[in-house]
Amino acid sequence: MSQSLEGDTAIVTGSSTGLGRAIAEKFADEGANVVTNSRSQDRAEDTAEAIREAGGNAVAAEADVSEKADVEALAQAAVDEFGSLDVMVNNAGTTVEKHVFDQTPEDWQRVLDVNLTGTFYGSQVAGEQMAEQGTGGQIINVSSMFGSVGVQGRAPYNATKGGIENLTRCLAVELAEYDVHVNALAPGYVKTDLAEAPWGEEITEDREWPYYGYTEEHIENRTPLGRFGTLAEVGNCAAFLAAGDHYMTGEVMHNDGGWLAFGWGSKA
Protein backbone atom coordinates (compact mmCIF):
# COMPACT_ATOMS: atom_id res chain seq x y z
CA MET A 1 0.00 0.00 0.00
CA SER A 2 1.40 3.36 -1.00
CA GLN A 3 2.03 5.80 1.83
CA SER A 4 1.51 9.37 0.61
CA LEU A 5 3.88 12.02 1.93
CA GLU A 6 2.66 14.67 -0.51
CA GLY A 7 3.83 18.11 0.57
CA ASP A 8 5.66 16.99 3.70
CA THR A 9 9.28 17.98 4.26
CA ALA A 10 11.68 15.28 5.42
CA ILE A 11 15.32 15.28 6.46
CA VAL A 12 17.18 12.00 6.06
CA THR A 13 20.61 12.05 7.68
CA GLY A 14 23.35 9.93 6.18
CA SER A 15 21.47 9.69 2.90
CA SER A 16 24.33 9.61 0.42
CA THR A 17 24.34 5.79 0.26
CA GLY A 18 22.66 2.65 1.50
CA LEU A 19 19.59 2.71 3.72
CA GLY A 20 19.52 6.49 3.96
CA ARG A 21 19.55 6.99 0.21
CA ALA A 22 16.85 4.37 -0.27
CA ILE A 23 14.66 6.09 2.32
CA ALA A 24 15.23 9.54 0.81
CA GLU A 25 14.35 8.31 -2.68
CA LYS A 26 11.22 6.51 -1.43
CA PHE A 27 10.03 9.62 0.39
CA ALA A 28 10.52 11.70 -2.75
CA ASP A 29 8.56 9.11 -4.76
CA GLU A 30 5.72 9.57 -2.27
CA GLY A 31 5.68 13.32 -2.80
CA ALA A 32 7.86 14.59 0.04
CA ASN A 33 10.32 17.44 -0.21
CA VAL A 34 13.58 15.87 0.90
CA VAL A 35 16.72 17.30 2.47
CA THR A 36 19.56 14.88 1.83
CA ASN A 37 22.60 14.85 4.07
CA SER A 38 26.18 13.72 4.36
CA ARG A 39 29.35 15.06 5.90
CA SER A 40 30.29 15.71 2.27
CA GLN A 41 28.23 18.26 0.36
CA ASP A 42 29.11 16.57 -2.92
CA ARG A 43 27.87 13.18 -1.72
CA ALA A 44 24.66 14.64 -0.36
CA GLU A 45 24.18 16.44 -3.67
CA ASP A 46 24.53 13.18 -5.60
CA THR A 47 21.40 11.83 -3.91
CA ALA A 48 19.52 15.12 -4.24
CA GLU A 49 20.35 15.30 -7.93
CA ALA A 50 19.17 11.74 -8.51
CA ILE A 51 15.87 12.60 -6.80
CA ARG A 52 15.40 15.72 -8.92
CA GLU A 53 16.21 13.84 -12.11
CA ALA A 54 13.46 11.36 -11.17
CA GLY A 55 10.98 14.23 -10.81
CA GLY A 56 11.16 14.78 -7.07
CA ASN A 57 12.07 17.76 -4.89
CA ALA A 58 15.33 17.69 -2.96
CA VAL A 59 18.14 19.85 -1.69
CA ALA A 60 21.44 18.75 -0.19
CA ALA A 61 22.91 19.89 3.11
CA GLU A 62 26.31 19.06 4.54
CA ALA A 63 26.30 18.33 8.28
CA ASP A 64 28.09 16.24 10.88
CA VAL A 65 25.29 14.91 13.09
CA SER A 66 27.64 14.63 16.07
CA GLU A 67 27.77 18.44 16.16
CA LYS A 68 24.57 20.06 17.42
CA ALA A 69 25.20 23.31 15.54
CA ASP A 70 25.37 21.32 12.29
CA VAL A 71 22.06 19.61 13.07
CA GLU A 72 20.44 22.95 13.85
CA ALA A 73 21.66 24.28 10.51
CA LEU A 74 20.29 21.17 8.80
CA ALA A 75 16.82 21.75 10.25
CA GLN A 76 16.98 25.42 9.32
CA ALA A 77 17.84 24.47 5.74
CA ALA A 78 14.64 22.42 5.55
CA VAL A 79 12.52 25.28 6.88
CA ASP A 80 14.20 27.89 4.70
CA GLU A 81 13.83 25.83 1.54
CA PHE A 82 10.44 24.19 2.03
CA GLY A 83 8.76 26.04 4.91
CA SER A 84 8.50 23.27 7.49
CA LEU A 85 10.01 20.13 8.95
CA ASP A 86 7.52 17.26 9.16
CA VAL A 87 9.63 14.09 9.15
CA MET A 88 13.09 13.53 10.63
CA VAL A 89 14.96 10.31 9.90
CA ASN A 90 18.03 9.89 12.08
CA ASN A 91 19.87 7.39 9.94
CA ALA A 92 23.53 8.47 9.95
CA GLY A 93 25.69 5.81 11.52
CA THR A 94 29.10 4.22 11.70
CA THR A 95 30.73 1.14 13.20
CA VAL A 96 34.10 -0.28 14.17
CA GLU A 97 34.49 -4.04 13.94
CA LYS A 98 37.11 -5.25 16.41
CA HIS A 99 37.32 -7.60 19.35
CA VAL A 100 36.38 -5.79 22.54
CA PHE A 101 39.97 -5.97 23.79
CA ASP A 102 41.11 -4.08 20.69
CA GLN A 103 38.50 -1.31 20.77
CA THR A 104 40.20 2.01 21.55
CA PRO A 105 38.69 4.96 23.41
CA GLU A 106 38.61 6.77 20.07
CA ASP A 107 36.70 3.89 18.43
CA TRP A 108 34.12 3.87 21.21
CA GLN A 109 33.66 7.63 21.27
CA ARG A 110 33.30 8.04 17.52
CA VAL A 111 30.57 5.39 17.25
CA LEU A 112 28.81 6.84 20.29
CA ASP A 113 29.03 10.41 18.92
CA VAL A 114 27.60 9.59 15.50
CA ASN A 115 25.07 6.87 16.27
CA LEU A 116 23.61 7.82 19.65
CA THR A 117 24.49 11.46 20.22
CA GLY A 118 23.65 12.25 16.59
CA THR A 119 20.26 10.62 17.00
CA PHE A 120 19.64 12.59 20.18
CA TYR A 121 20.56 15.90 18.55
CA GLY A 122 18.45 15.12 15.49
CA SER A 123 15.44 14.22 17.61
CA GLN A 124 15.89 17.18 19.94
CA VAL A 125 16.20 19.75 17.16
CA ALA A 126 13.47 18.26 14.98
CA GLY A 127 11.13 17.82 17.93
CA GLU A 128 11.53 21.45 18.93
CA GLN A 129 10.83 22.62 15.37
CA MET A 130 7.77 20.38 15.06
CA ALA A 131 6.44 21.59 18.41
CA GLU A 132 6.91 25.20 17.33
CA GLN A 133 5.03 24.54 14.07
CA GLY A 134 2.14 23.07 16.03
CA THR A 135 1.29 20.51 13.36
CA GLY A 136 2.90 17.40 14.84
CA GLY A 137 5.44 15.26 13.04
CA GLN A 138 7.24 11.97 12.72
CA ILE A 139 10.72 11.16 14.01
CA ILE A 140 12.21 7.88 12.84
CA ASN A 141 15.40 6.64 14.47
CA VAL A 142 17.23 3.96 12.51
CA SER A 143 18.36 1.20 14.82
CA SER A 144 19.25 -2.40 13.93
CA MET A 145 18.30 -5.89 15.00
CA PHE A 146 21.66 -5.74 16.78
CA GLY A 147 20.06 -3.31 19.20
CA SER A 148 18.35 -6.38 20.67
CA VAL A 149 20.97 -9.14 20.39
CA GLY A 150 24.68 -9.53 20.96
CA VAL A 151 27.20 -10.35 18.28
CA GLN A 152 30.95 -10.49 18.51
CA GLY A 153 33.10 -7.54 17.55
CA ARG A 154 30.48 -4.81 17.53
CA ALA A 155 30.25 -3.70 21.14
CA PRO A 156 30.11 0.07 20.43
CA TYR A 157 27.63 -0.37 17.56
CA ASN A 158 25.34 -2.71 19.47
CA ALA A 159 25.43 -0.50 22.55
CA THR A 160 24.43 2.58 20.56
CA LYS A 161 21.62 0.79 18.77
CA GLY A 162 20.22 -0.47 22.06
CA GLY A 163 20.50 3.07 23.36
CA ILE A 164 18.65 4.43 20.33
CA GLU A 165 15.73 2.11 21.02
CA ASN A 166 15.28 3.20 24.63
CA LEU A 167 15.89 6.84 23.67
CA THR A 168 13.06 6.40 21.17
CA ARG A 169 10.71 5.26 23.93
CA CYS A 170 11.66 8.16 26.19
CA LEU A 171 11.24 10.75 23.46
CA ALA A 172 7.92 9.26 22.39
CA VAL A 173 6.54 9.82 25.88
CA GLU A 174 8.00 13.31 26.19
CA LEU A 175 6.98 14.60 22.76
CA ALA A 176 3.51 13.07 22.63
CA GLU A 177 1.91 16.27 23.93
CA TYR A 178 3.04 17.96 20.70
CA ASP A 179 1.62 15.15 18.53
CA VAL A 180 5.17 14.21 17.55
CA HIS A 181 5.46 10.45 17.05
CA VAL A 182 8.86 8.88 17.68
CA ASN A 183 9.53 5.36 16.43
CA ALA A 184 12.55 3.28 15.56
CA LEU A 185 13.20 1.17 12.49
CA ALA A 186 15.44 -1.85 13.09
CA PRO A 187 16.48 -3.62 9.87
CA GLY A 188 18.14 -6.98 9.67
CA TYR A 189 20.77 -7.86 7.11
CA VAL A 190 20.52 -5.65 4.05
CA LYS A 191 23.43 -5.34 1.66
CA THR A 192 24.95 -1.92 2.25
CA ASP A 193 28.51 -0.59 2.29
CA LEU A 194 28.46 -0.38 6.11
CA ALA A 195 27.50 -4.00 6.64
CA GLU A 196 29.02 -5.72 3.62
CA ALA A 197 32.74 -5.87 4.43
CA PRO A 198 32.93 -9.32 6.11
CA TRP A 199 30.67 -11.20 3.70
CA GLY A 200 32.01 -13.98 1.57
CA GLU A 201 35.01 -14.69 3.78
CA GLU A 202 35.82 -18.36 4.11
CA ILE A 203 36.02 -20.02 7.51
CA THR A 204 39.36 -21.60 8.37
CA GLU A 205 40.59 -23.24 11.54
CA ASP A 206 43.23 -20.57 12.10
CA ARG A 207 41.05 -17.65 11.13
CA GLU A 208 41.35 -14.61 13.34
CA TRP A 209 38.31 -12.73 14.56
CA PRO A 210 35.60 -12.50 13.30
CA TYR A 211 35.77 -16.25 13.32
CA TYR A 212 32.36 -17.38 12.13
CA GLY A 213 28.97 -16.44 10.93
CA TYR A 214 29.45 -13.80 8.26
CA THR A 215 29.20 -15.61 4.95
CA GLU A 216 26.03 -15.12 2.96
CA GLU A 217 25.13 -18.77 3.58
CA HIS A 218 25.36 -18.33 7.34
CA ILE A 219 23.22 -15.21 7.31
CA GLU A 220 20.57 -16.75 5.08
CA ASN A 221 20.47 -19.87 7.27
CA ARG A 222 19.81 -17.75 10.35
CA THR A 223 17.01 -15.80 8.66
CA PRO A 224 13.63 -17.58 8.51
CA LEU A 225 12.74 -15.86 5.23
CA GLY A 226 16.00 -17.29 3.87
CA ARG A 227 17.36 -14.15 2.23
CA PHE A 228 18.74 -10.69 2.79
CA GLY A 229 16.36 -7.76 3.01
CA THR A 230 16.29 -5.18 0.24
CA LEU A 231 16.77 -1.44 0.31
CA ALA A 232 13.29 -1.05 -1.18
CA GLU A 233 11.77 -2.95 1.76
CA VAL A 234 13.49 -0.66 4.24
CA GLY A 235 12.22 2.35 2.31
CA ASN A 236 8.68 0.98 2.39
CA CYS A 237 8.78 0.53 6.18
CA ALA A 238 10.18 4.03 6.67
CA ALA A 239 7.47 5.48 4.44
CA PHE A 240 4.78 3.75 6.50
CA LEU A 241 6.14 5.29 9.70
CA ALA A 242 6.64 8.70 8.07
CA ALA A 243 3.10 8.93 6.68
CA GLY A 244 1.71 8.87 10.21
CA ASP A 245 -1.43 6.88 9.37
CA HIS A 246 -0.95 4.78 12.49
CA TYR A 247 -1.43 4.85 16.24
CA MET A 248 2.23 4.12 16.92
CA THR A 249 4.77 5.92 19.02
CA GLY A 250 7.63 4.57 21.09
CA GLU A 251 7.74 1.40 19.00
CA VAL A 252 10.61 -0.47 17.37
CA MET A 253 9.68 -1.88 13.96
CA HIS A 254 11.89 -4.88 13.20
CA ASN A 255 12.14 -5.65 9.50
CA ASP A 256 14.64 -8.47 9.85
CA GLY A 257 13.17 -11.43 7.99
CA GLY A 258 12.34 -13.13 11.29
CA TRP A 259 15.89 -13.09 12.66
CA LEU A 260 14.92 -12.05 16.20
CA ALA A 261 12.01 -14.46 16.30
CA PHE A 262 14.37 -17.29 15.37
CA GLY A 263 17.32 -16.35 17.56
CA TRP A 264 20.97 -17.15 16.88
CA GLY A 265 20.32 -20.48 15.24
CA SER A 266 20.66 -22.09 11.84
CA LYS A 267 18.17 -23.83 9.60
CA ALA A 268 20.93 -25.95 8.05
pLDDT 10s digits, 32-87: 999 999 999 999 999 999 999 999 999 999 999 999 999 999 999 999 999 999 99
Instruction: Report the CATH superfamily, name and number, of domain 9-262.
Output: NAD(P)-binding Rossmann-like Domain (3.40.50.720)
Q: Does pLDDT of 170 surpass 90?
A: yes
The confidence band for 267, taking pLDDT boundaries of 50, 70 and 90, is low
**Predicted pLDDT at 207:** 45
- Residue 32 exposure: Cα atoms within 13 Å on the Cβ side: 33
Q: Does pLDDT of 224 surpass 80?
A: yes
Mean pLDDT estimate for the chain:
91
Q: Average pLDDT, stretch 109-136?
A: 98
Is the preceding omega at residue 198 within 30 degrees of 0, hence cis?
no
Q: Average pLDDT, stretch 237-245?
A: 97
Integer CA distances (angstroms), 173 to 124, 148, 179, in order: 13, 21, 10
* Range scoring the smallest mean pLDDT among 73-82, 219-228, 245-254, 256-265: 256-265
Q: Average pLDDT, stretch 120-139?
A: 98
The span from the CA of 83 to the CA of 78, in Å, is: 7
Q: Average pLDDT, stretch 96-117?
A: 96
| Cβ-contact 96, 145 below 8 angstroms | no
**Predicted pLDDT at 68:** 98
The span from the CA of 46 to the CA of 18, in Å, is: 13
Q: Does pLDDT of 247 surpass 50?
A: yes
Specify the higher pLDDT residue, 167 or 199. 167
Burial zone of 133 (CB within 10 Å; 0-12 exposed, 13-18 middle, 19+ buried): middle
Choose, from 121, 157, 189, 214, the residue flagged as catalytic. Answer: 157
| Cβ-contact 66, 90 below 8 angstroms | no
pLDDT tens, residue by residue, 185-223:
999 999 876 554 444 444 444 445 444 556 788 888 889
Q: Does pLDDT of 3 surpass 60?
A: no
Percent of the chain with pLDDT over 70: 89
Please tell me whether residue 69 adopts helix, strand or coil conformation.
helix
Q: Does pLDDT of 98 surpass 50?
A: yes
pTM for the structure as a whole: 0.92
Integer CA distances (angstroms), 264 to 37, 164, 219, 243, 267, in order: 35, 22, 10, 33, 10
Is 157 annotated as catalytic? yes
The span from the CA of 20 to the CA of 93, in Å, is: 10
**Predicted pLDDT at 2:** 43
Handedness of CA 213, 214, 220, 224 (dihedral sign): positive
